[in-house]
Structure 1
Amino acid sequence: MRRGRARLRTVALIGIDGSGKTTQAHRLADALTAAGRPAAYRRNASGRRWLGRLAHRLGLPDAQRLVGRDGVLAVESVLRWLAIAVALLSCLLTGRTAVMDRYSACQYVSIRAHGGHRWERLARAGYRLFPTPQVTFLLAVDPAVAYQRIEERGTDHESMGWLTAADTAYRTLPEYPSFVLVDAGRSAEEVTEQIQAHLATWLPDDVHPDPSRGSSEGSAPTAVPQPAPPPAPPAAPAQERAGRGDGASLLVQARP
């Protein structure tokens, strides 16, 4: 649970909708807890989905028609700020590692994808109070794959335009070089292995992923011990080889 002398206090998982953040955040929190390092899953939602549902109930196509673009960004920024503040305070009081499903970078992305860049400066001023997570995983996935996943789960809907804009926004954030990129286009099990492999120095040996399967960049697989070779068969008693003129070999039994 420690890397050097630093304790793993906060891990964040970010990415566009449909990248698998919630699934992987739950799995990571469970893995840490099972290893004897209590962790808490925290979902830092912005309320955008809730606003969208409210708009639909009122007969409006989306949240922007309900409160306007600036209204959506204001509500999102405030609700996510409160969610992160509560999550950090709770984990501070309980001593648990905070596994964050979304973090401040997600709000900056939402602002950029909505085209409200002037809001980003205000948001960053407010979110500056929060510590930077020790590890931030960016679950990178093709927007087309993310769109298909969202449609299959059937609980909400996102347009390809929004997913593409959000994907571009993540890659243009000034924090982007500090993110740990995870190929979220793979199966959920493979993504879990990538995440846990990167956290290998924080996790006990018994929860490391199988090194024979994929691992994330920068983490060397653990060596697998090879079985000992079988013992050599005993040599034949007192046998000599004698050559024949035609090149073939002949076994000759030595007389006692």
Structure 2
Amino acid sequence: MAKSTGARCATARLRTIALIGIDGSGKTTQAYRLAETLTAAGYPATYHRNAGGRRWLGRAAHRLGRPDAQGLVGLDGMLVLESVLRWLAIAMALLGGLLTGRVAVMDRYAACQYASLRAQGGRRWERLVRAGYQLFPRPQVTFLLAVDPAEAYRRIERRGTDHESLGYLTAADLAYRTLPEYPTFVVIDASRRAEDVAREIQGHLAGWLAAGDGPAGRGPVRSKARMPGGASGLVPAQAWP
């Protein structure tokens, strides 16, 4: 099994990486950092923030005198809008990667929408949403940044740009862990310093880059890819395509 997996990787090219997890887990920080790291290592990458518009809807609700997005458009309306907006964002990001040949570093992906539906009591919409999102290929590597919901809540409150209830964060954390895709995720302990989290992510990807082809059409890299910070290592089984 390991031999055939490695053979597939040797002929594959890294195209899409997704970072997922609850709000406050550090997805945006790590996605930005990863796009810069890959580009510096010779694998041009672009950061894509595939937001579902909850923050924007919440701000619009406040301006209109409503407590939150749900108070503005109702639960079902919010879930539908969020699903559509995230679908459009992902589609544009994938199209951009296809046209430019750059690695797409996704800050949120389809799994985030499935988890959001479950956490907000909209599981009845999940089958329909999954049908719409089936158009998108599964990323070659999906990193789940895992952090205790209480710590995520403290981080969100410290940044002061938005707000999430501890109850929602707890429900979202459980939702990610119960998704059928969960066994395919590379779970990263995101409670540590950002530098340590980035080093572990880079270590997983260094093995992939050492075996794959470069985005500019180079042949297979024969030596281990060296990424900033000296990270290197083999990619775990669940990270191979």
Q: After TM superposition, is the score higher than 0.5?
A: yes
AA matched with 2:111: A
1:207 paired with 2:223, answer no
Aligned residue among 18, 33, 41 for 1:35: 41
1:130 paired with 2:150, answer no
Match of 2:97 in 1: 91
Q: Is the 8 A contact 2:61 2:71 kept in 1?
A: yes
Q: How far is 1:45 from its partner?
A: 0.4
Match of 2:156 in 1: 150
User: Which runs of 5 or more structure 2 residues have no equivalent in the other structure?
Assistant: 1-7, 210-223
AA matched with 1:182: I
Q: Is the 8 A contact 2:18 2:109 kept in 1?
A: yes
Return the structure number with greater strand share. 1
- 2: distance between equivalents of 1:182 and 1:164? 17
1:195 paired with 2:215, answer no
Q: How far is 1:5 from its partner?
A: 1.0
1:69 paired with 2:75, answer yes
- 2: distance between equivalents of 1:217 and 1:209? 17
Instruction: Give the match's secondary structure for 1:19.
Output: coil
Q: Is the 8 A contact 1:200 1:208 kept in 2?
A: no
Q: Is the 8 A contact 2:18 2:107 kept in 1?
A: yes
Match of 2:170 in 1: 164
Q: Is the 8 A contact 2:90 2:109 kept in 1?
A: yes
Scaled by the length of structure 1, what TM-score is found? 0.81
AA matched with 1:109: A
Aligned residue among 94, 101, 123 for 2:107: 101
Aligned residue among 175, 185, 188 for 2:181: 175
Instruction: Give the match's secondary structure for 1:37.
Output: coil
- Structure 1 moving runs of 4+ over 6 Å: 214-217
Indicate how the Cα distance of structure 1 residues 208 and 200 shifts in structure 2: closer, same or farther if over 3 A, else same: farther
Calculate percent identity across the aligned residue pairs: 72
What is the RMSD computed on CA atoms of the aligned residues?
Answer: 1.9
Aligned residue among 104, 119, 122 for 1:116: 122
Q: Is the 8 A contact 2:208 2:234 kept in 1?
A: no
Q: Is the 8 A contact 2:207 2:234 kept in 1?
A: no
Q: How far is 1:202 from its partner?
A: 2.8
Q: Deviations over 1:88-115 (max 9, x none)?
A: 0011000001000000000001100111
Q: How far is 1:208 from its partner?
A: 5.8
AA matched with 1:207: M
Q: Which one has a bigger Cα radius of gyration?
A: 1
- 2: distance between equivalents of 1:21 and 1:3? 25
Q: Deviations over 1:12-47 (max 9, x none)?
A: 000000000001001111111111111110010000
Match of 2:65 in 1: 59
Q: Is the 8 A contact 1:197 1:208 kept in 2?
A: no
Aligned residue among 185, 196, 211 for 2:191: 185
Return the structure number with greater helix share. 2
Indicate how the Cα distance of structure 1 residues 19 and 216 shifts in structure 2: closer, same or farther if over 3 A, else same: farther
- 1: distance between equivalents of 2:152 and 2:164? 9
Q: How far is 1:82 from its partner?
A: 0.4
Match of 1:14 in 2: 20
Indicate how the Cα distance of structure 1 residues 98 and 217 shifts in structure 2: closer, same or farther if over 3 A, else same: closer
Q: Is the 8 A contact 2:52 2:83 kept in 1?
A: yes
- 1: distance between equivalents of 2:233 and 2:149? 23
Scaled by the length of structure 2, what TM-score is found? 0.86
Instruction: Give the match's secondary structure for 2:206.
Output: coil
